[in-house]
Structure 1
Amino acid sequence: MQLLRIHHAAIIATDYGKSKAFYTEILGLRILAENYRAERHSYKLDLALPDGSQIELFSFPEPPPRPSRPEAAGLRHLAFAVPDVEQALAELRGRGVAVEEVRVDEYTGKRFAFFFDPDGLPLELYEE
């Protein structure tokens, strides 16, 4: 087997409209496709990042909450590579998004910071 890259990450939103606006208007991800699956009472929104990777945003009726954060078993957070973490944080702040302070990875020396989507999913900006 030869794994090439991560194709997509899937996120389930509690408020589809709010999350759709966050990922498209705040983060600027491009919509590839949006489908309503009537039999599941669910939307599936495919969003693209510039490198071709994708986020699938789902809505489901009454999804269970995440047990705890950030150390619950499973996906810990989703990280986005950015050229300048300070600039990206300034843009988020300008759009009303609360962000954490910049930290430095003790092993790589790279700068990073966290912010959260409308459901509290931890998102990271990682400076390349």
Structure 2
Amino acid sequence: MLKHVSFLTRELSTTLAFYEQLGAVTEKRVVTSEGYGRAVLSLGGGRLQLFEVAGEMPQPHPHWAEHIAIHVRDLQQLLPVLRDAGVRVTRDLQLSPGGRDMAFVLDPDGRQVELLEAD
């Protein structure tokens, strides 16, 4: 069973706001003993852990195969809201292989995020 996925971020507040807009709930936000901002978000049974780092950060791979997938409700309504907020859509609304609406967007740090219509 997956415990969590952990990512680095340049701006914790901006990245938290992005994932909260997708339905995540921030469970914990602290500063580690090393001085990093850390947050844990709940995403429908899974967890996403974010660490804020200063300076240069490795770039995510631009290909869609490396991504986090999130079930969301009302994807057809959410996608225009995200676009209006400046979120870059990298794969427009289409049917997934399983027959659900899906799209890919970039999070504030350039990671691919698959949005998949929830049941």
Give TM class, smaller chain.
0.7 to 0.9
Secondary structure in 2 matching 1:112: strand
Closer, same or farther: CA 35–116 of 1 in aligned 2, 3 Å: same
Shift of 1:19: 1.7
Verify: 1:119 aligned to 2:109, yes or no.
yes
Secondary structure in 1 matching 2:81: helix
- Name which of 77, 80, 99 aligns with 1:109: 99
Query: 2:12–2:51: 8 Å Cα contact kept in structure 1?
Result: yes
The residue number in structure 2 matching 1:36 is 31
Secondary structure in 2 matching 1:22: helix
Query: 1:98–1:115: 8 Å Cα contact kept in structure 2?
Result: yes
- Name which of 56, 74, 85 aligns with 1:84: 74
Verify: 1:23 aligned to 2:41, yes or no.
no
Shift of 1:122: 0.6
In structure 2, C-alpha distance between the alignment counterparts of 1:113 and 1:67, rounded to whole Å: 18
The residue number in structure 1 matching 2:57 is 64
Amino acid at match of 2:92: E
Gaps of 5+ in 2: none
Verify: 1:55 aligned to 2:48, yes or no.
yes
% identity of equivalent residues = 29
The residue number in structure 2 matching 1:12 is 8
- Aligned Cα RMSD in Å? 2.4
Closer, same or farther: CA 31–68 of 1 in aligned 2, 3 Å: closer
Q: Pick the structure with more strand per residue.
A: 2
Q: Which has the higher contact order (CA 8 A, sep 6+)?
A: 2
